[in-house]
Structure formats: C-alpha cells, structure tokens
C-alpha cells in the first residue's frame, strides 16, 4: 500500500512545498520505499510509495506521454496488462498504475469502469486544471477528502494528513468518483446487489469455485516476497490452499519459489495457532507463528488507534493482533500478503446469521455488511498492515467474485441447524473428493472471529484493563455529555474513545467512525432478530450464544459470563513473558 496526498486549488501564499512534504511524511509508513511530489501552479500531488510491482521504475506520480495528465495512486490494477494491450500508448514504466493516466486520456472519467483492482487515486489534467478522484468498489483502499478555508480541495489516504489544515473532512465513499468539472461526487459502481433486491440465480458450486480461484491467482501479481495470513479458519485456509495450488504456474512462483509462506498470530495456545499449523502442514507451506502477550497487546493500543484511525471496539480488538503480526512479517522481508476479509459479509458467515428470520432479511443484511466493510474490516486489514509497510490483498472482495456470489439465491446461504453451518455454499464448492483443497474437519470448521480466535483471554483482558483506566463511575454516567456523538456504552469503549480524542480531537474525525448497536458484528438492523440481543450488545462472536459448537465449553475455562470486575485481577495476572517463534 502507498500513501497519497493531493492539495488542489490552494491559495499560493498559504502553502509552501516544505509544508506539503511534512504532511506527506505522515503517510510514509504506508510507503517507505520512495517519495514523490508534483507541483503545478496551485496544485500538489504527493506520493509515498510501497514498491510491489516494478520496484525499479514505477515511482509516482505517474504521467501520460506528454505529462499533461498526472496521477497519484494507492493500490493495484490487476488487469493492467490487458488494458495496455487494448490501447496504443508508449509507457514510461512497467507499473500497473500508469495505465490510469492513459485510460483517462482515451476514455475520460468513465475509464474507472474498466479498472479491476483495489485503488484510490487522484488525477490532475493540466490541460484545463480539472481533476478527479476515485475509490475502488468496496473501499479496500482508504481515502479521505476535505476542504480548506481558502477553497482548496484535499485528498489523503489517511485523515492524519488532513486534520490540521482542513476545516472539514470526510471519508471518501467506496465506488464513487469526485469530478471538479461536475462539482461533486457520483457513484460509478452500481451492481445489481446494491439495491438489495432479492436474487434468484441457482447455486453452481463449480462456477463459485472457479471465480474464487481466479480472484486469488490474479492477486499473485507481485515483484516482491509475499505470503498468506492464515488463521486456520475457512476463509484464510481457502486463500492459502488456492494460492499454494496455483503458485508454481505464476510469474511470482517462478521468481520467488513454488512454496508458499503463511503467517499466523495468537496468544500461546490460541485456537487459531493450532488450526493454522494443521492447515499449513497439510498444504506444505513455510509457516511462521508469531506469539504475542496480553501485555504487548495492551501496550500497542495507543499506536493501533493512531494508525487505524477509529474508536470502534470490534475494529480495535481485531486490529491489535494484526498490527503486531504485520511488524513481524515486515521484519522477514515480506511486503505483500493475501488475507481472507469479506467472506463473512458475502455469505453470512458471522454467528448471528443463525438467527436470520428469512432469506430476504438474510440477503439484505449481507448487502448492508458489504456496504459498510470500508468502515470496519477493510479499514482494519489495510491500515494494520500498512502501518508497517505491508500490503494486504483480499480475494473475496474481487469485483467479479462479489457479483457472482451476491447473485445466488440467498436461501442457499442460510444456516440450517444440523444440516448446514454458516458459509456452507463455499465449503461445498471446495469439497473435492479427488483433489481435496483442505481436510474435511478444517473445511467445515465453525467460525471464529479474529479477535476471539487469537485467544479467548484477549478480549476479557481488554475489558479488565479498560476498567482499571476508567475508574470513576461518573465518567460513564456523564459519557453522553462528554461524547454526545456515538456515546460509549462500556468502559472499554470509553477508554478507546479517550485515546482517539487525544490524537484526533476534530469533530470531523469523530464523525468518521461508525456507531450504533451491534451484537457479534451485526448491523443495528439485525439486532432485532433476537429480543435477548438488545440486552447483550457485545460485538464479540461470543454474544451469539447457543450457536457455537466448541468455543465455550466451560465457564471455568472462559469466564466471559463473569463481570469485568470479577475477572480483572485474574486476567491481568495471566500476562506471560515475551515469546516469538517463526
């Protein structure tokens, strides 16, 4: 992942080149390999590069032949070779992103429809000083935009580059394009599922499998070492299995070897570590285990909130282990990983989907979840890895794969107790007796949320630690007055909010974070599926009681039914010494 910053139409007396460099430096963790800055009249485009494709010559910003069109891009264009072959242009680099400048030259603003990838970009046409900015369909790559008091328009990969100079800023919505000519935003991505109408296409397991394999293989486009984040659950295991199966036939496999690297993180003895090791052994990958301690996780919270730019409880819980793991991955010299985000949203994989009342509400909830991914799991996966200069690619959010999966009759996705567990249609699609992708018990392993799977003590310890930080009862009693927007409902949420406000005190910053009731990662609308949920609004998967087969075998082993006060002393005694293995 790279970092981009664009300042467009500023008042010349108010902005020096050194100031732009200072702001761009705030994004350098995303792109530590090179820095580029383009200046034209009262327009700046800055770029911090993470070199994945064409490390030698692909520095940005990038241009068309006569340099009248300039573009700064964060992301990957997987179909760049086919696009280049379809146009007659001279290319200055082998970068996948250079094609965007030439596409604009030939097709104008509509060219964004031709891109297959994950991307956020800002393009300046110096012929008339017009500009556009666009973001990929689901919002895999982050983008924010804001407005200066001098009338300037700003864009940045992270809001930390905007907070000091913009009067107001917002999250740039996925699947949208901003046009200076039109004077605003328009949605360019309009798939059939976006309207939430109920699809009826029959389930074809082979078509689903082929679409996913294609999505994984195209993401093996890289000129640097890479691997797969492997938790041992269905989603990451399928990514690893498909990547491992096809790696030898790809350019990346020929360049870096046919044996896949996999990575897992967890507390000692966590469910994910055990399951991931079993999958890695089965696939024959070079597997790396990283252990973190509860204390190390607690110590990282301030940095996590600064990098992820959120105070959402679920996101912070899951981001912390991923943040720590990404640092270890980068230390191994790896710059790109594949990850399994998106499957639970597409297929109703979260445990609360067991309570979906009918196929119509099941489907609408999956649509709502996909639409909000950019605020949660995409935000986490991108920023937790980018904090250390690692790029995360997500095959489940491939545009073609999403369109196919969301066209299937949702009755096929619904859970049927005793017959079908969550994500059954993906499990069935990869249940190949002749050439198994995974062992049966892994293929049909039940869902673990990442923050639970890294170790059940993690969440309990977070709650206990927060209780020690938010010690005065009137802090919670007056929370609605201190934080009227998205008022914290628990001491854990209150503590995260305090940390967030210290680094991002702006009103625009707090408004960028989603809120509302949730149970086991549900949207607010799905809380109504079970009357009891409104009394137990815990975003952890443990809140969906009665549907998990193995996670909570005894209250003695997992004291989540105790009060935070009861567990706090015992949990904080359990912080082991530092252990790292690979």
265 is in an annotated binding site: yes
3-class SS at 349?
A: coil
Kindly give, in sequence order, each residue whose CB lies less than 8 Å from that of residue 143, ignoring residues fewer than 6 positions away: 74, 120, 133, 135, 155, 156, 157, 171, 172
**DSSP H or E segment with residue 278:** helix 271-283
3-class SS at 73?
A: strand
User: Among residues 2, 264, 378, 521, which one is catalytic?
Assistant: 2
* C-alpha pair distances (Å), 537 with each of 157, 527, 532, 544: 32, 8, 9, 10
339 is in an annotated binding site: yes
Angle in degrees, CA 508, 13, 180, rounded to 5 = 55
Burial of 67 per CB tally in 10 Å (0-12, 13-18, 19+): middle
Rounded CA-CA distance 465/49 in Å is 37
Order of all β-strands in the sheet with 176-179: 62-63, 69-77, 117-125, 130-135, 176-179, 184-187
C-beta of residue 69 within 8 angstroms of C-beta of residue 89: no
3-class SS at 199?
A: coil
Phi-psi category of residue 372: left, alpha or beta, with phi > 0 → left and psi -120 to 50 → alpha: alpha
Rounded CA-CA distance 480/464 in Å is 22
List % helix, strand, coil for the chain (3-state, nearest 5). Answer: 45, 15, 40
Phi-psi category of residue 150: left, alpha or beta, with phi > 0 → left and psi -120 to 50 → alpha: alpha
Locus of tokens 């005065």:
472
Backbone angles phi, psi at 229, to 5 degrees: -80, 120
3-class SS at 364?
A: helix
C-beta of residue 136 within 8 angstroms of C-beta of residue 175: yes
106 is in an annotated binding site: no
143 is in an annotated binding site: no
C-beta of residue 422 within 8 angstroms of C-beta of residue 447: yes
Locus of tokens 């679920």:
314
Residue 540's nearest CA partner among 438, 462, 437, 428 is 462
Which tokens sit at 225?
A: 């070492």
Rounded CA-CA distance 397/579 in Å is 34
Q: Can 166 be counted among the known catalytic residues? A: no
Rounded CA-CA distance 101/1 in Å is 19
Rounded CA-CA distance 9/15 in Å is 11
340 is in an annotated binding site: yes
Kindly give, in sequence order, each residue whose CB lies less than 8 Å from that of residue 104, ignoring residues fewer than 6 positions away: 64, 69, 71, 111, 123, 125, 132
Rounded CA-CA distance 218/120 in Å is 19
Annotated binding site for L-glutamine: 96
Name the binding residues.
Answer: 96, 229, 265, 339-340
The residues that are catalytic are 2
Binding site as annotated, residues for ATP = 229, 265, 339-340
């Amino acid at each position: 992942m790279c970092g981009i910053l664009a300042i467009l139409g500023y008042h010349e007396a108010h902005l020096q080149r050194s100031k732009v460099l200072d702001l761009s430096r705030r994004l350098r963790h995303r792109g530590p390999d090179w820095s580029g800055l383009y200046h034209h009249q009262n327009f700046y485009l800055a770029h911090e590069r993470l070199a994945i494709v064409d490390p030698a010559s692909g520095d940005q910003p990038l241009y068309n032949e006569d340099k009248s069109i300039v573009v700064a891009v964060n992301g990957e264009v997987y179909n760049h070779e086919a696009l280049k072959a379809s146009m007659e242009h001279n290319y200055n680099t082998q970068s996948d992103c250079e094609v965007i400048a030439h596409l604009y030259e030939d097709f104008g603003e509509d060219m964004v429809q031709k891109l297959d990838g994950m991307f956020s970009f800002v393009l300046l046409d110096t012929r008339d000083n017009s500009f556009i900015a666009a973001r990929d369909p689901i919002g895999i790559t982050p983008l924010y935009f804001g407005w200066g008091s001098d009338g300037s328009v700003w864009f940045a990969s992270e809001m930390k580059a905007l907070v000091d100079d913009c009067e107001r800023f917002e999250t740039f919505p996925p699947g949208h394009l901003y046009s200076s000519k039109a004077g605003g935003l328009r949605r360019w991505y309009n798939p059939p599922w976006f309207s939430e109408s109920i699809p009826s296409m029959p389930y074809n397991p082979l078509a689903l499998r082929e679409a996913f394999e294609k999505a994984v293989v195209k993401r093996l486009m890289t000129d640097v070492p890479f691997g797969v984040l492997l938790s041992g659950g269905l989603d990451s295991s399928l990514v690893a299995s498909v990547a491992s199966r096809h790696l030898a036939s790809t350019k990346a496999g020929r360049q870096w070897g046919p044996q896949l690297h996999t990575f897992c993180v967890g507390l000692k003895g966590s469910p994910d570590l055990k399951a991931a090791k079993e999958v890695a052994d089965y696939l024959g990958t070079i597997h790396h285990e990283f252990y973190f301690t509860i204390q190390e996780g607690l110590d990282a919270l301030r940095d996590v909130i600064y990098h992820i730019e959120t105070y959402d409880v679920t996101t912070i819980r899951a981001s912390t282990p991923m943040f720590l793991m990404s640092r270890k991955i980068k230390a191994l010299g790896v710059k790109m990983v594949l990850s399994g985000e998106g499957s639970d949203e597409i297929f109703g994989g979260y445990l609360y989907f067991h309570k979906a009342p009918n196929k119509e509400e099941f489907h609408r909830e999956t649509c709502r979840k996909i639409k909000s991914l950019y605020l949660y799991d995409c935000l986490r996966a991108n920023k937790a890895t980018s904090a250390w200069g690692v790029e995360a690619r997500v095959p489940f959010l491939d545009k073609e794969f999403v369109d196919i999966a969301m066209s299937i009759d949702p009755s096929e996705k619904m859970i049927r107790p005793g017959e079908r567990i969550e994500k059954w249609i993906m499990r069935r699609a990869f249940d190949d007796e002749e050439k198994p992708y995974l062992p049966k018990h892994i293929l049909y392993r039940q869902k673990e949320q990442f923050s639970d799977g890294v170790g059940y003590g993690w969440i309990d310890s977070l709650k206990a630690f927060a209780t020690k930080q938010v010690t005065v009862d009137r802090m919670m009693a007056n929370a609605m007055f201190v934080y009227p927007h998205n008022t914290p409902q628990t001491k854990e949420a209150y503590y995260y909010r305090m940390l967030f406000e210290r680094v991002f005190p702006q009103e625009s910053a707090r408004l960028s974070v989603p809120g509302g009731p949730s149970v086991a990662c549900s949207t607010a609308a799905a809380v109504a599926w079970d009357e009891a949920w409104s009394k137990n609004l815990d975003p952890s998967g443990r809140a969906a009681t009665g549907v998990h087969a193995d996670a909570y075998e005894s209250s003695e082993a997992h004291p989540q039914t105790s009060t935070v006060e009861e567990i706090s002393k015992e949990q904080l005694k359990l912080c082991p010494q530092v252990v790292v293995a690979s």
